[in-house]
């Protein structure tokens, strides 16, 4: 391994780590959806992993295609910019729709009280919501589509630094160098996503949100919406 590839490898690992860590859209959607949908840790990490693969794969294919047929880097960066904008708007749209659904769901399932009069003359009230009664019947259908929506959005989302900063310089050295640098970037990016999601999910297990539980879908949608806003308007 020559010094140039070694330097690119260190750069790839650093960019993969910090690009992911400072981009809340890489992990917040999984954390909040896991909490709102009641996913277990195994399912949450599996979805995060698959979305991470999709996120990196799109840019890798485009970068290899560009290197192979000699597409100008400026054109690829422009196309990546369009993909990034589409991903941001898709995330915003999904977050907004989910937040509206969460608000509607909260209003429809507002807890209410019922009085009960017993034969001995005692009277008591208890509070319940219809969501608790019927959620198990409908949850399976509602859960199935959410991971696929997230996966599609992450496939659209580009890894902006990968092609211009890492893949093109590595390709000028050797094909094996290109594959090596791309693999390092992908492994560090996906690993960082999964570690952040893992740590945050464990932390949320110990947090008590009993009074906020009925607003979990609304909050999840709002946070995903803000993640999309961060991509399109704050450049994160």
Question: What does the pLDDT look like over 96-122, one tens digit per residue?
Answer: 999 998 898 888 766 545 455 555 555
Averaged confidence pLDDT in the chain = 80
88, two tokens: 């941001």
Does the residue 115 lie in any domain? no
Each residue's pLDDT tens digit, 123-178: 555 555 544 444 443 444 444 578 888 888 888 887 877 777 778 788 887 888 88
Compute the distance between CA of residue 158 and CA of residue 42 in angstroms, rounded to an integer: 26
DSSP-assigned letter for residue 127: E
Residue from 196, 184, 191 nearest 34 by CA? 196
Does the residue 92 lie in any domain? yes
Residue 201 has pLDDT above 60, yes or no: yes
Three-class SS state of 115: strand
Does the residue 145 lie in any domain? no
**Amino acid 142: pLDDT:** 47
Does the residue 4 lie in any domain? yes
Residue from 150, 137, 183 nearest 16 by CA? 183
Each residue's pLDDT tens digit, 42-72: 999 999 999 999 989 888 888 888 777 777 7
Does the residue 127 lie in any domain? no
Does the residue 90 lie in any domain? yes
Q: State the residue range of the domain holding 226.
A: 1-17+28-37+58-108+164-236
Does the residue 152 lie in any domain? no
Structural domain tally of the chain? 1
**Amino acid 72: pLDDT:** 73
Compute the distance between CA of residue 15 and CA of residue 192 in angstroms, rounded to an integer: 11
């Amino acid at each position: 391994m020559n010094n140039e590839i070694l330097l690119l490898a260190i750069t790839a690992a650093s960019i993969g780590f910090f690009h992911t860590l400072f981009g809340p859209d890489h992990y917040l959607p999984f954390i909040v959806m896991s909490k709102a949908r009641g996913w277990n840790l195994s399912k949450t990490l599996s979805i995060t992993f698959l979305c991470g693969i999709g996120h990196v794969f799109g840019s890798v294919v485009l970068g290899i295609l560009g290197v192979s047929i000699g597409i100008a880097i400026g054109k690829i960066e422009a196309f990546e910019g369009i993909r990034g904008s589409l991903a941001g708007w898709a995330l915003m749209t999904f977050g907004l729709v989910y937040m509206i659904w969460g608000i509607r769901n909260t209003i429809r399932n507002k807890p209410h009280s019922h009085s009960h009069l017993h034969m001995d003359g005692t009277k008591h009230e208890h509070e319940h919501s219809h969501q608790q009664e019927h959620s198990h019947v409908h949850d399976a259908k509602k859960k199935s589509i959410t991971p696929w929506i997230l996966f599609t959005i992450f496939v659209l989302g580009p890894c902006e630094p990968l092609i211009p900063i890492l893949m093109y310089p590595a390709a000028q050295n050797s094909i094996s160098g290109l594959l090596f640098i791309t693999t390092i970037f992908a492994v560090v990016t996906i690993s960082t996503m999964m570690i952040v999601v893992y740590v945050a999910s464990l932390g949320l297990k110990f947090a008590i949100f009993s009074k906020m539980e009925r607003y979990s879908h609304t909050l999840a949608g709002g946070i995903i919406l803000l993640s999309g806003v961060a991509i399109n308007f704050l450049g994160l």
